[in-house]
Structure 1
Amino acid sequence: MTEQRTTVAISGGGPAGVMLGLLLARQGVEVTVLEKHADFLRDFRGDTVHPMTLDILDELGLIDEFDALVRGRMEAVDFATTDGVLVHQDLASVAPRGARFTDIALAPQWDLLDLLVRKAAEFPSFTLVMEAQTLGVVREARGVRGLRYRKDGREHVLRAVVTVAADGRHSVLREDIGTGLVVLGSPIDVLWFRIDREADEPTELRGVIGRGGAAVAINRSDYWQVAFLVPKGTDEEIRTAGLPAFRDRVRGVAAWMGDRLEQVRTWDDVKLLSVWVERLRQWSAPGIVAIGDAAHTMSPLGGVGVNLAIGDAVAAANLLGPDLLRAQQDPRRFEKLLNPAILDRVQQRRQLTTMVTQRIQVLGQNRVNAITRTPEGASLMPPKVALAVMRGPVARLLPRVFVYGIRSERIAG
């Protein structure tokens, strides 16, 4: 077993972990990010980059490079059923005063992560270790003092002043924080598959709600990554009914997919994402703090997960960076424990944004689920009064929460 040392050990090379590593290294903090995979290529990662994140990329001087990665842009939020449009809202019309960016960029998350890693590699205090599987924490009597991980078949110890759980919705480190979860649940699951995309098709997200499900298609240049939302717990029932019935079900909601659904040839082409909305009661314990999906698992509704994760990273870097720099100068830093109140600042800063966003997601999921269960012969459109509310206050509120954020983060200094 080998042992290394760093000031900050981050488990997870997703948006939260990589962005935090970049921002801390930019301040001169020694940071090591552990990513269990050999690359960032994952089909089921969010591709929507909202104005709140575009502002951060601009502050880092990366906006021009990022623009080269963009596959499409959304200038409006649209919610529709197979019976008609529920909401259409131009994003620029509800933008905060002075907003520089007023659209949602669509870019593969793996390209965004590669861009952030290239920027982070400019700083000598940044280290990224790929194919490093986190096994657990290094714990001493007073708290967490680093991570244990496996790489190349060998176990390693990475001692750290602070450990960060940024390892996503299936975090192996949540139990080491040990504060339990607030579970809001979810009435939906997502079945993922891909179909070919024609060059002359729209570049923006394509989404519609119908009986039996809701379909959202994400532009991946030469193919659509399709998320088909179904009532929670119905995956086995759908598979038992057979693949032709599933194709017909999707086609009944998204007729434009047509014969391309025949490209879904076996159930191996359809992956289940079980959706849960939950968060840690406390995001930190002595020596360790959680950010991103490890702290608060989001629904895919609104595509806000990546942007909240990056907001967490920016807040954490702003709040913890100066204290970590001071700790780094102390020769006895691995014998001492950083004041736990310092780590608590991250939750104090980010909790309200998380709680409000999750609550709106749950309400939205419930509404989508109700529409998909509409009986034959009944309209999928709500009554006129409810529709007026959706097209008025709701249409203005949702973009402000999901697109521009409740509390924007900016890079300090």
Structure 2
Amino acid sequence: MSKKPVVIAGGGPVGLVTALALARQGIEVVLLEAESQIPQDLRAGTFHPPTVEMLDRLGLGNAMLEQGIKVPEWQIRDRRTGVVAQFDLGLLADVTPHPFRLHCEQHKLSRIAADVLVSMPNVKLLFGHRCTGFVQDAEGVTVKVQSENGEDEIRASWLVGTDGAHSVVRKGMNVEFDGFTWPERFLVFATPYDLREQGFTGNAYVADPDEWCAIFIQPHKGPPGIWRIAFPTKPEMSEEEILSDAFVQSRIQGFLAPDREYEIAYRSVYRVHQRVASDFRDGRVLIAGDAAHINNPLGGMGLNSGIHDGVNLAEKLTVVFEGASQDLLDRYVRQRRLTNIEYVQAITIRNKRLLEERDPAVRKEHLDELRQTAADPARARAYLLNSSMIASIARAREIQ
């Protein structure tokens, strides 16, 4: 086995899980994270059944289950008429030991994984260290690093970029980041008001041609948790206007009861993209997670697909370290890029278009189809295999 480590640029959950998957196999890993510590903000927080299984195999599952909320049922609603369809992941209990969505903030996974990694002798976690570029040759990669101590270089056997949508690693590769940006931005805010009092399951998507929304519960200082709600906003609105108390209150008041003020614990606004890198590999440099693909959050697939990338890549890098051909890494690219296009991109785009459909006839047709799907156990099962990402994992295994 090479003595040169694998360097991972980006210490978010995907980078940390990738590092752990490699380190569990005895591979030396250096992880670079530009921030001085793990961010505590409310970002992605939905883990699908196959992702929980992967975390189980890495020894992280129990801690995640202890800190998260199990959400076995989720709804699609029409804003005017109420529940259209309710799906129960219990239908998949024969194919997964975790027939639920696990809601848990991503920073908790990051902390759990980091706590394991710091105890491993073959891992270096370097917070406050930013990858600024690289130069590769046939034998390895020289990674350029910036920290408060100045510039440095690390010699690596492989470089893995998990450094997000603005990835320095991807930009240094000979690849494009193809796709598009949605015109509207998303307002996301959190409230401790318990939406279960209004009949909501822990996860719900509400269709409306003018103002759809997505809702999910997150753990927060004990029961009943905190509820995150995502709304679209008009492209011409300023960020200041979107984040104002008046606008945020008007969104939730229009959605729930207009005659009260709601506590708002968190708010943010961000642009949403659908993009996939033209390749996930350039020689000894690879990318995973948001560095490789980004999508809208409707369906909770972005973080999950990134973790699936990291585990898949670690499996193949381990075999390459043991002497297998480097061509095996091209299979990683084929498996993860194609399934991202076929499942993650396709499903998240379809989810958004379903929620915002304006044509009454098309809207009725789509909602009626969902009603029929939820009422038929066989069709509901097939639907859940896709939405839970179990089908995408199975599809990836088929790709040679």
Q: TM-score, normalised by structure 1?
A: 0.81
Taking a change above 3 Å as real, the CA distance of residues 164 and 203 of structure 1, as seen in their structure-2 partners, is same
Match of 2:142 in 1: 146
In the alignment, structure 1 residue 219 sits paired with structure 2 residue 218: yes
Structure 1, unmatched stretches of 5+, are 328-337
Between 224-233 and 288-297, report the one with greater CA deviation: 224-233
**Aligned pair partner of 2:390 in 394, 405, 410:** 405
Between 313-322 and 396-405, report the one with greater CA deviation: 396-405
| Contact 2:243/2:267, CA 8 A, preserved across alignment | no
SS of 1:169's partner is coil
SS of 2:157's partner is strand
1:260-281 CA-partner distances (Å, limit 9, x unpaired): 15x48xxxx6422100010101
Q: TM-score, normalised by structure 2?
A: 0.84
SS of 2:273's partner is coil
Whole-angstrom CA distance in 2 between matches of 1:240 and 1:8: 42
| Contact 2:206/2:355, CA 8 A, preserved across alignment | no
Match of 2:55 in 1: 57
Taking a change above 3 Å as real, the CA distance of residues 36 and 98 of structure 1, as seen in their structure-2 partners, is same
> Superposition pairs for residues 173-184 of structure 1, below 5 Å?
173-184=169-180
In the alignment, structure 1 residue 344 sits paired with structure 2 residue 342: no
Whole-angstrom CA distance in 2 between matches of 1:276 and 1:190: 11
> Superposition pairs for residues 14-413 of structure 1, below 5 Å?
14-70=12-68, 72-83=69-80, 84-93=82-91, 95=92, 97-137=94-134, 139-140=135-136, 145-186=141-182, 188-197=184-193, 204-205=202-203, 207-210=205-208, 211-222=210-221, 224=226, 226-231=228-233, 233-236=235-238, 239=241, 243-255=245-257, 258-260=260-262, 263=264, 270-326=267-323, 339=326, 341-356=327-342, 357-370=344-357, 382-383=363-364, 385-393=365-373, 396-408=381-393
Whole-angstrom CA distance in 1 between matches of 2:34 and 2:90: 39
Taking a change above 3 Å as real, the CA distance of residues 380 and 69 of structure 1, as seen in their structure-2 partners, is farther
Taking a change above 3 Å as real, the CA distance of residues 191 and 206 of structure 1, as seen in their structure-2 partners, is same
Q: CA deviation at 1:140?
A: 4.5
Q: CA deviation at 1:293?
A: 1.1
Let me know the Cα RMSD of the aligned residues. 3.3
SS of 1:10's partner is strand
| Contact 1:187/1:369, CA 8 A, preserved across alignment | no
Letter paired with 2:218: N
Structure 2, unmatched stretches of 5+, are 374-378
| Contact 2:354/2:366, CA 8 A, preserved across alignment | no
Whole-angstrom CA distance in 2 between matches of 1:199 and 1:301: 19
Q: CA deviation at 1:170?
A: 2.0
